[in-house]
Chain A
Amino acid sequence: MPKHILVVDDEAVIRDLLEMFLTRSGYRVTAVSTAPEAEEVASRDRPDLVITDLQLEDSDGLEMVERLKSLLPETPMMLLTGVLFDPRVVRETLQKKVSCYVEKTAPLTRILSAVQGLVGR
């Protein structure tokens, strides 16, 4: 049974690319563009991993992560963002809120390694 990954990003190109790549890598992927959609999927079909953008159209990604954590306390959350943070910010702030932080400029293989590190192959 493939692991279920919930991808949240307001950019269709990123959603499509991630869905295609992760599906090819053997995961079951549900891609949505808004926080309410993400919460609806999380309550209906529990994901093994949530990958979310930081800046969504309708809300902040970190706020959505907080809400999802109440629904999925055991599920790892990965922040995938184009905002380049200072390493100290990452270390002191982001890592307390999410399981993993990956920049959107990182290659897909690195994203895959991070995903495999969180949910396995």
Chain B
Amino acid sequence: MDKTVRRILYFFILVLGVLVVVAVDSVRNINREVAGSDWVNHTHAVILENEALRSDLYLSDGLAHTFVVTGDPGDRRAVVEALSDVSEHLDILAALTRNEPDQKGQVAHIGSLVNTRAGFIRALLGARQSGNMGAVHSLLADDAGQPALKDIGRAIEHLKQDELGLLTERDTAAFVQAQMTRWTVWTGVVLDFLLLAGAAWLIRDDIAARRSAATALRLANNQLEAKVRERTAELVSTNELLTAENLERSWANQGLEHQLNYNNLIINSINDLVLVLTKATNISRVNPAVVRVTGFEPHELINRPFASLVHLTHPGMAPMVDPIAQAMRDGRDLRDQGATVQDKLGRRIAVDVALFPLRDRDKVVGGVVTIQVIGPGERQEPRP
């Protein structure tokens, strides 16, 4: 795994981490919101019961005063029912606030005041029903201005204000929590966006780098291929040249060989004796006619002095200088020289000898001797 891919992977792990944090925080806030909603409902229930208690207490008190005036049993029953409702509301309030020590204390205080007031109402009902109007007047006189009822109203109002205060606090907390949730979500979104943008930038950068590398590689390949093509062309050209040179050399060789064979063929086909002499007049080459006429094999003749095979005939005295050697030194032809050749069996054969010096530029390097056979026996007369 290369460096860029590793970096991109780290980026995505971070994005995933941010998403997990946002999700966990959001779920926790939703749970808090649900719990807060239950608490709000509960608080509203306390306030409603509190208000109902106050309402039914004021109702029972009013109905009791009505009964005092009318003495109607129906009014008395209504008072009893209202007191029963008051008692029921007190029980509900006690149940709703049993887990909240502060409110529980307030409800107990309210319950104590309400029970006292309920006792007063029952006493008033009893005095009126028994027709003891004096006791009725005494009770009512003691309750002039209804201070107990006002105390109860204040206590109930105090509880209500406390509950409303808690509701306000809870609203503030819920708002802060909602704001926190929004902040968390938007922060996560922005962070993820930045991380994804970073990953995208890395990917783009990596793609650009890979493209650049691919381009460089392609260029290098092209250059390499061009060099290979160039080198191949050079090799092909060199090969062509070598092949052409080889052909030319082979052709030249065959030409020389052909020419040599042809020359040999000509010399070997001549019926006259042909000998090649060195400058010192030793035999260096003979044609087949020499072998045929003298009976000597070539190896018996090569390097042998020419004079030991061919004896020039001379009119009168033999010259002091060998005419063949002299002509060779002078570089001149010698023609129609009478001579005898002694064959392997010792027989003498009359011949005519001619010498042609071999020149290499201006220098005599040897000579070619041609010998024409005239007939067997000693030659007596020199040719003119």
Which parts of B75-128 form the interface with A (CB within 8 Å)? none
Looking at B198-206, B248-256, B338-346, B366-374, the stretch in contact with chain A turns out to be B248-256
Determine if B244 and A104 form an interchain contact, defined as CB atoms under 8 angstroms apart.
Answer: no
Q: Give residues of chain A (60-94) contacting chain B, Cβ–Cβ below 8 Å.
A: 82-84
| A82-113 interface (Cβ within 8 A of B) | 82-84, 103-109
If A82-B258, A83-B262 touch, whether A107 touches B251 (CB-CB below 8 Å) is: yes
Cβ–Cβ < 8 Å partners of A41 in chain B: none
B255's contact among A24, A105, A109, by CB below 8 Å, is which?
A105
How many B residues, CB 8 Å from partner?
13
* B237 at interface, CB cutoff 8 A: no
Q: A98 to nearest B CB, angstroms?
A: 19
Encode contact with A along B236-271: 1 for CB under 8 Å, 0 otherwise. Answer: 000000011001101110111011001000000000
Q: How far is the CA of A13 from the CA of B249 in the complex (A)?
A: 13
Q: Which of A24, A105, A107 contacts B259 (CB 8 A)?
A: A105
CA distance in complex: A29, B254 (Å): 20
**What residues of A have a CB within 8 angstroms of the CB of B248 in the complex?**
107-109
Q: Which stretch of A14-22, A30-38, A44-52 is in the interface? A: A14-22
A14 to B261, CA, bound (A): 14
Q: How far is the CB of B264 from chain A (nearest CB, A)?
A: 12
Chain B neighbourhood of A109, CB < 8 A: 248
Chain A residues with Cβ below 8 Å from B247 are 17, 20-21, 24, 108
Most buried by B among A11, A17, A82, A106: A82
Q: Which of B244, B256, B258 has its CB near the most chain A CB atoms (within 10 A)?
A: B258
Please state if A82 and B243 are interface contacts (CB–CB under 8 Å).
Answer: no
Please give, as numbers and ranges, the residues of chain B lying within 8 Å of A104 by CB-CB distance.
254-255, 258-259
Residue of B nearest to A83 (CB): B262
> B243: which A residues are within 8 A, CB to CB?
24
Smallest beta-carbon distance A41→chain B, Å: 23
Which residue of chain A has its CB nearest to the CB of B243? A24
Q: Which of B252, B255, B256, B262 has the most CB of A within 10 A?
A: B255
By a beta-carbon cutoff of 8 Å, the part of chain B in contact with chain A is 243-244, 247-248, 250-252, 254-256, 258-259, 262
Residue pairs across A and B with Cβ atoms less than 8 A apart, 13 shown, are A11-B254, A13-B250, A13-B254, A14-B254, A82-B255, A103-B255, A105-B256, A105-B259, A106-B255, A107-B252, A108-B244, A108-B247, A108-B251
18 additional A-B residue pairs with CB within 8 Å, beyond A82-B262, A83-B262 = A11-B258, A14-B254, A17-B251, A17-B254, A20-B247, A21-B251, A24-B244, A24-B247, A82-B259, A104-B255, A104-B258, A105-B255, A105-B256, A105-B259, A106-B255, A107-B251, A108-B247, A108-B251
